[in-house]
Structure 1
Amino acid sequence: MKTISLLLILLAIFTFSVNAQNSDTEDWISLFNGVDLEGWTIKITDSELGVNLNETFIVEDSMLRIRYNKYKSFNNNFGHLYYHTPFSYYKLSFDYRFVGEQLTGGASWNVRNSGIMLHSQSAESNEFGQHFPVSIELQLLGGLEQGERPTANVCTPGTAVETNGMVNYDHCINSKSKTYNGDQWVHCEAIVMGGDYMTFIVEGDTVLHFKKPQIGGGFISNKEGAVDWNNYGVERDEELWMAKDGEILTKGYIALQAESHPIDFKNIKLLNLCGCKDPKAKNYKSYFITNDQSKCKY
């Protein structure tokens, strides 16, 4: 009997140890499978939902590539590729590199310029001629071999963020990152905490932090000097967005941007920080920030 009791105790200790270890193991998910665009939806300005105009978005050599080989001119065909699931609290990790030359017709400010939209409206809710989704953009910039040009900045189409305790209506706010010239790969991460804050990290260095992402700055705003979004393809929903001025963005979609310069993405991964916080559940994770009881498994 003593032997059986001892075995039961040892088994309980082992089970507790394994469960504790599993609760600390981070379950990253790959948003891009390296084979095709499964799980992603395309929306390009002046094209119907799901139409991959001129094969802008392609998969090649396990990379998600944005290409303009079949274009004659850019013609404001801004494109966005949306992951099908919205998220709120999460970490995003990816690698990118700019390559080649900009497509004829692209704006000068779009040379080696792209981005990843966070807390974005859905692909389906974009208007036919809309240039950019209402979102928080993690702007990606490549160096131009002269002067400094930081990456992982924040830009705000139809939005604003809070810096230094005040709402900042600047359309783009620079990070303190290094400049990355040439066609080199750059590793980026974003820590997204719902409507509380976002932090951008480049090659292990924290380069930008801001709070309270919200609707109402940039191109859609009641503020004096705001640009009319009719100029950016929003006509049907302009008043709807303006009525939401100041509303905090707590969740949304992730979208990769196509702005006239070729760019490659790989290793696009996400760690969801929203899940079951009950330690008794099989899928409990100690790193979850917010609880979703519906996901608990016992």
Structure 2
Amino acid sequence: MNKHLLRILFCCLIVVTISACQNQPSLAQKSDENPWINLFNGKNLDGWTPKFRGHPAGVNYKDTFRVIDGLFTVSYDQWDHFEDKTFGHIFTNQSYSNYRIRLEYRFVGNQITQEPKYAWAYRNNGVMLHSPPAEYMDIDQEFPMSAESQLLGGNGVDERTTGNFCSPSTNIVKDGKLITEHCVNSNSKTFHGDQWVLFEAEVRGDGHVKHFINGELVFEYSEMQADPTDPFGKKWLDEGNPLKITKGHISLQAETHPIQFRNIQIQSLD
């Protein structure tokens, strides 16, 4: 074989190799190929466990959590009035670490209580991350230890961000500083009315968490940890659990205002 033909074959081999490499997915693309798994089947609440203050885990008090027209719903139509501090949460039965969760939510109807002390709970819900299981909550515990991705709806007039952070029995590290405030606002837009809003959270096994609203990054922090000054945080630590929390269950709230969820999905980032 002459040198000219060898040169042509060698050049063709280089072109084919480069083309093949360019068509190989990056690590980021490969992680995106992990399937999205439905956490809600659209028919019933299989895979979830409710817990209301004053009641043992597993009791769906007044049928508050239910499926209506294929939507995961928090309804107060069986309540005559709001019983003081009877907040509810419904937990995934499975624990997770290093994942991405997404769901759509919309606030509907009227708040069950008009008491001024619950004005903060108007169009207020949350996606609680890295919680212990429902059974771990004390009978009269109002909120599970968690990193709450707070979901808020507008009142039609004022600005009110969503995708915020709140800290039941926890603290976070943000921009290298320990944050002990109970709630820290995001930089999201305000969403008035009953419109559907897409919430996503990227929850890394190293503790790094990002909140997204309708695809836009609105809040980010680098670490969640138990609050040793909080009774439930102290209980957690006294039992020998680590300060830094990198895994746990996911829960949704019943916090006095009706709300609906759909397309509740999780994707492993392992």
The answer as to whether partners of 1:195 and 1:251 remain within 8 angstroms in 2 is no
- Give unpaired runs (5+ residues) of structure 1: 1-15, 223-227, 230-236, 275-298
Shift of 1:133: 0.4
Match of 1:103 in 2: 112
Code of the residue aligned with 1:51 in structure 2: it is: V
Q: Does 1:215 align with 2:226?
A: yes
The answer as to whether partners of 2:88 and 2:254 remain within 8 angstroms in 1 is yes
1:154 to 1:190, Cα distance in 2 relative to 1, 3 A = same
Q: Distance in 2 between matches of 1:192 and 1:169?
A: 20
Instruction: Indicate the percent of aligned positions where both proteins have the same amino acid.
Output: 40
- Give unpaired runs (5+ residues) of structure 2: 1-19
Q: Does 1:241 align with 2:249?
A: no
TM-score between both structures, scaled by the size of structure 2:
0.84
Code of the residue aligned with 1:257 in structure 2: it is: Q
Q: Does 1:65 align with 2:65?
A: no
TM alignment of 1:74-223, pairs within 5 A: 74-75=82-83, 76-104=85-113, 107-216=118-227, 221-222=228-229
Q: Distance in 1 between matches of 2:131 and 2:257?
A: 21
Query: Which one of 234, 254, 259 corresponds to residue 255 of structure 2?
Result: 259
The answer as to whether partners of 1:141 and 1:150 remain within 8 angstroms in 2 is yes
TM-score between both structures, scaled by the size of structure 1:
0.76
Per-residue deviation, residues 149-182 of structure 1 (Å, max 9, x unmatched): 0000010000011112110001001000000000
1:238 to 1:213, Cα distance in 2 relative to 1, 3 A = closer
SS in 1 for 2:235: helix
Match of 1:45 in 2: 53
Q: Decide which moves more: 259-268 or 69-78.
A: 69-78
SS in 1 for 2:236: helix
Residue-pair matches, total = 241
SS in 2 for 1:265: strand
SS in 1 for 2:265: strand
Per-residue deviation, residues 223-250 of structure 1 (Å, max 9, x unmatched): xxxxx65xxxxxxx67523647981111
| Deviant stretches of 4+, over 6 Å | none
Q: Distance in 2 between matches of 1:123 and 1:246?
A: 19
Code of the residue aligned with 2:44 in structure 1: it is: D
SS in 1 for 2:223: strand
Q: Decide which moves more: 30-39 or 75-84.
A: 75-84
Code of the residue aligned with 1:196 in structure 2: it is: G
Match of 1:283 in 2: none
Larger Rg: 2
1:111 to 1:135, Cα distance in 2 relative to 1, 3 A = same
The answer as to whether partners of 1:162 and 1:168 remain within 8 angstroms in 2 is yes
Match of 2:266 in 1: 270
